[in-house]
A and B are shown apart, each in its own frame.
Chain A
């Protein structure tokens, strides 16, 4: 036995790393521009004009980045006009791109043509969209601005992190005809006496317009009934029920039995989204504490598990966005009427609870849901990670992908967009997420294969450079996930258990 140990011990040692890699450590989300991913299939040099384009003033910078995520929001999603239930993806994609060429003219969205499209998109509508130079500018500026944050308590300037919502209300460009008709379709569905949830899912799969996202999420999560007449009543009853829990149980956070749970939550709340000012407001932190504590004591099989705190965030931001016309990230929640604050809190609690109902085995003892999915990811991954060479284990990076539903790997705006689809999918959070993770891993194939040692590979995998990601990238990711799902649907050995 001792001899075996010795062999194991030494086996690692000959692998002396070949180069000194920059150390990213435990920072999330990744901020280093040097790892910036070129989009989409790496035809551009990685380190181009990093320094050549620096904004001389913040205003100049802000102007150039204004609403970068808004412009092609709905257009990106043209890939998926026939998502979800459609049996064949390829036909769906084909018709989608054809359609797109007709409606958007010079902006051709098509899996093969995206490269060209990116070159073009610098001048769309006279505004700078996601041009490569701008992205670099963003990435390189973010560090210095993050540092400034602490000394600037009032509306800190954090342009990148700040864009937590994928669409901003203010300063958004006028809607295209197609966006308008999409929105109208949603409104029509939502206004009918009995909302056709199947139809709503179908339309939501490719992204939900900002204006109707809060109510659509409430419906898709199963929190609100399809019957329009009953909605008000259900809302009223559920909100009262939640505050009944608070009244009944929240004081027990100091009890011997619960104080450890509360302490853990209390430690985690200030460090949930630490870079977004919204979440540093005491009133917001208290909301999170109540939601998480009540959920934890009502679910003793799992209790509070780190990562669940992240899962409240998208709901809170989306439900808050109903009442905010400016940037959500700097909004002073205490300025809202108390009733409104309470409604946002209760709705966030219930929607989060519905989500967690579907993935509770991610958080119970030994976290079987996560272990199974990490194993399944390993099976799904066809050679992206040459782990035999460097012995990186999937658990070393993918555990977090599962435990936090990729929230640590993606900007919040992307998570919100991702959840449109997860809630439109039948088992979005519990099952489809696996395919999204597989697609996500494949996305970085080139970077992964270029890594020359264990350290570099693991640090890349733990700090994937997605800071510039928006709806477009998420759309492509979802398309690939969708393809994988159907490819493996008939392979029983894959992820059947």
Chain B
């Protein structure tokens, strides 16, 4: 079962957060390596793909850029389905967008769980950090505490404009997704492997531990 040398991973990742915090810009920076101050507001959902080489394995990230306006909130359940990880983004220059972070996290956790009942790995992004640090993100200890209390696996100050910490945050998320994927495989009783599983997806792989 472990005789496949080249593994491929496909992860669906959500990017959520209030309107205008820079979700689209972060994805554009991450995928296309560019920035524009005026991307049109996302309506519904936009989709992008990023391919990573990860320890001689290929990781494909489906990035789901989800519209931030509250009115669209009814649709989120459809978009969340089968995601393995998420970024929740706020704008450091707009405290209200930080207050909405817990709301987004609750929405996510209430509509999406992994097969083992756990919540998906979520990284918090304090975006637009090039426009000045806000009081909150200045206090690293407080932010750590906030992440712990609200179930984030980590947080990053990011700037899509200046390309700060985007790759780092994505790597962090991928690492945690792989860990939780591995977790699920471990906890699975071998006899119940479902026939839908592709060979190279089944079983455990030691390389998943390496990146942990």
Bound-state Cα–Cα, A393 to B80, Å: 13
Does B10 reach chain A (CB closer than 8 Å)? yes
Does A159 reach chain B (CB closer than 8 Å)? no
B194 A10 Cβ-Cβ under 8 A: yes
Highest count of chain B CB atoms <10 Å: which of A3, A9, A404: A9
Does A16 reach chain B (CB closer than 8 Å)? yes
Q: Identify B40's interface contact among A16, A272, A363, CB under 8 A.
A: A272
Bound-state Cα–Cα, A11 to B41, Å: 32
A271 B41 Cβ-Cβ under 8 A: yes
Bound-state Cα–Cα, A7 to B197, Å: 9
Does B36 reach chain A (CB closer than 8 Å)? yes
Bound-state Cα–Cα, A15 to B10, Å: 8
Q: Which of A1-58 contact B (CB under 8 A)?
A: 2-3, 5-17, 20-21, 23-28
Does A274 reach chain B (CB closer than 8 Å)? yes
Nearest A residue (CB) for B28: A25
A8 B74 Cβ-Cβ under 8 A: no
B198 A23 Cβ-Cβ under 8 A: no
Known: A5-B114, A10-B197, A455-B49. A399 touches B44 (CB 8 A): yes
**Interface hit among A178-186, A303-311, A349-357:** A303-311
**Smallest CB separation, A300 vs chain B (Å):** 13
Query: Would you give the 0/1 interface string for A300-337, flagging 1 where the beta carbon is closer than 8 Å to chain B?
Result: 00110111010000000000000000000000000000
Main secondary structure on B side of the interface with A: mixed
**Smallest CB separation, A191 vs chain B (Å):** 41
Known: A20-B51, A395-B75. A403 touches B194 (CB 8 A): no
A25 B32 Cβ-Cβ under 8 A: yes
A26 B27 Cβ-Cβ under 8 A: yes
Bound-state Cα–Cα, A9 to B85, Å: 13
A272 CB contacts on chain B under 8 angstroms: 40
**Interface hit among A63-71, A197-205, A208-216, A262-270:** A262-270
Known: A17-B10, A459-B47. A306 touches B69 (CB 8 A): yes
A395 B10 Cβ-Cβ under 8 A: no
**Smallest CB separation, B176 vs chain A (Å):** 16
B192 CB contacts on chain A under 8 angstroms: 3
B19 A404 Cβ-Cβ under 8 A: no
Bound-state Cα–Cα, A16 to B198, Å: 10
B201 CB contacts on chain A under 8 angstroms: 10, 13-14
**Smallest CB separation, A380 vs chain B (Å):** 19
B198 CB contacts on chain A under 8 angstroms: 13-14, 16
A206 CB contacts on chain B under 8 angstroms: none
Known: A2-B115, A16-B8, A23-B32. A396 touches B196 (CB 8 A): no
B38 A25 Cβ-Cβ under 8 A: no
Q: Identify A23's interface contact among B37, B39, B50, CB under 8 A.
A: B50
B204 CB contacts on chain A under 8 angstroms: none
**Interface hit among B60-68, B122-130, B131-139:** B60-68
Bound-state Cα–Cα, A344 to B187, Å: 66
Known: A13-B10, A13-B198, A396-B79. A2 touches B48 (CB 8 A): no
B205 CB contacts on chain A under 8 angstroms: none
**Smallest CB separation, A190 vs chain B (Å):** 36
Q: Identify B67's interface contact among A17, A20, A270, A306, CB under 8 A.
A: A306
Interface size class of B (residues with CB under 8 A): 35 or more
Bound-state Cα–Cα, A13 to B8, Å: 10
A376 CB contacts on chain B under 8 angstroms: none
Bound-state Cα–Cα, A431 to B43, Å: 21
Does B113 reach chain A (CB closer than 8 Å)? yes
B31 A408 Cβ-Cβ under 8 A: no
Bound-state Cα–Cα, A404 to B72, Å: 13
Bound-state Cα–Cα, A319 to B10, Å: 49
A400 B44 Cβ-Cβ under 8 A: yes
Does B5 reach chain A (CB closer than 8 Å)? no
Does A139 reach chain B (CB closer than 8 Å)? no
B43 A400 Cβ-Cβ under 8 A: yes
Nearest A residue (CB) for B32: A25
Q: Identify B41's interface contact among A8, A268, A459, CB under 8 A.
A: A268
Bound-state Cα–Cα, A7 to B51, Å: 25
Q: Identify A9's interface contact among B42, B47, B96, B114, CB under 8 A.
A: B114
Q: Which of A379-409 contact B (CB under 8 A)?
A: 393, 395-397, 399-400, 403-404, 408
Does A462 reach chain B (CB closer than 8 Å)? yes
Bound-state Cα–Cα, A365 to B70, Å: 10
Q: Identify B60's interface contact among A17, A24, A270, A271, CB under 8 A.
A: A17
A397 CB contacts on chain B under 8 angstroms: 44
**Smallest CB separation, A37 vs chain B (Å):** 20
Q: Which of A205-257 contact B (CB under 8 A)?
A: none
Nearest B residue (CB) for A25: B48
Does B45 reach chain A (CB closer than 8 Å)? yes
Known: A10-B201, A25-B27. A274 touches B44 (CB 8 A): no
Does A366 reach chain B (CB closer than 8 Å)? yes
B48 A26 Cβ-Cβ under 8 A: yes
A305 CB contacts on chain B under 8 angstroms: 69, 71
B43 A23 Cβ-Cβ under 8 A: no
A274 CB contacts on chain B under 8 angstroms: 36, 38-40
Does A98 reach chain B (CB closer than 8 Å)? no
Bound-state Cα–Cα, A399 to B78, Å: 12
B71 A12 Cβ-Cβ under 8 A: no
Does A128 reach chain B (CB closer than 8 Å)? no
Known: A306-B69, A395-B75. A271 touches B115 (CB 8 A): no
Known: A25-B31, A396-B47. A267 touches B20 (CB 8 A): yes
B40 A28 Cβ-Cβ under 8 A: yes
Q: List 10 A-B contacts (CB under 8 A).
A: A9-B114, A12-B10, A17-B10, A268-B19, A270-B38, A272-B40, A307-B41, A393-B78, A396-B44, A459-B48
Interface residues of A (CB under 8 A from B): 2-3, 5-17, 20-21, 23-28, 260, 264, 267-268, 270-272, 274, 302-303, 305-307, 309, 363, 365-367, 393, 395-397, 399-400, 403-404, 408, 455, 458-459, 462
The 5 closest A-B pairs by CB, nearest first: A26-B46, A274-B38, A399-B44, A25-B48, A6-B115
Known: A264-B19, A367-B71. 7 other contacts (CB 8 A): A13-B10, A25-B24, A305-B71, A363-B71, A365-B74, A396-B79, A455-B60
